[in-house]
Amino acid sequence: MRFDVVTLFPELFAPHLTQGITRRAFAGGGIEVRLWPLRDFADNNYRRVDDRPYGGGPGMVMLAEPLLRALQAIRADRSAPAPAVVHFTPTGQRIDQAVVREFAAGPGAVLLCGRYEGVDQRVIDRHVTQELSLGDFVLSGGELPALALLDAVARLQDGVLSAESHQQDSFSDGLLEGPQYSRPEVLQIDDVRVQVPTVLMSGHHGQVAAWRRQRALHLTAQRRPDLIAAARAAGRLSRLDEQFLAALGLQSKAF
């Protein structure tokens, strides 16, 4: 799997690719990341890659020609067929776990990190195959979404995490993950002594699994009811899940 990143700020990537548990995917060769500094493809003495927008308006637009030269160089460097070209923009499809799984099972892509007011639309129309967004807000550039995608994809690679770890993550089964606890068993917070739920110390795996499932259902119903609706439509909710959800209105104070 190979990702080619076209960016004005390649120095932002190295710390994220060499730290934390996901470094296993990058250091071990499971995911190859190549950085292509866009200014290397400028054809003027000032290495300029942006200019004013036609029609007026604030800000600057990333010029088409340096981007086209960068894409041409990447295609010449790759022995495989032309990869998907991903552009990060607030107008793109929101990245979710389903999108991450698709990339995690694929050959990689070219990640185009825009800046300023955006990229010349002619490059997008001709070469971009997918546009992605982190959410309904605006960032200074595409580097953070690119890093987020790389991190999420790396977590799903063999040898990075145990299968059990990412199978219990939020969104792995369409629900949010429930709460987690660790030592000490009783914790003094301000003037209150707070104890770990007793079921988690019972050693009864079936009861622990049922408790975690209910906590995930409850949290998802509270914060992301759209995920509950999607899970129901996909047939991922059991009869016990539905019974628990039906009782939440009466029992929510108990949890």
Kindly list the catalytic residues: 90, 117, 155, 169
How is residue 72 annotated by DSSP?
Answer: H
Listed in sequence order, the DSSP H helices in the chain are 14-17, 23-27, 64-77, 97-104, 121-127, 143-155, 163-167, 205-223, 225-233, 239-251
Residue labelled with tokens 């999108």: 99
Q: How far apart are the C-alpha atoms of 53 and 56, rounded to whole Å?
A: 6
Residue type, 25: A
Sign of CA dihedral 137, 140, 142, 147: negative
Residue type, 76: A
Residue type, 7: T
φ, ψ (nearest 5 deg) of residue 252: -60, -30
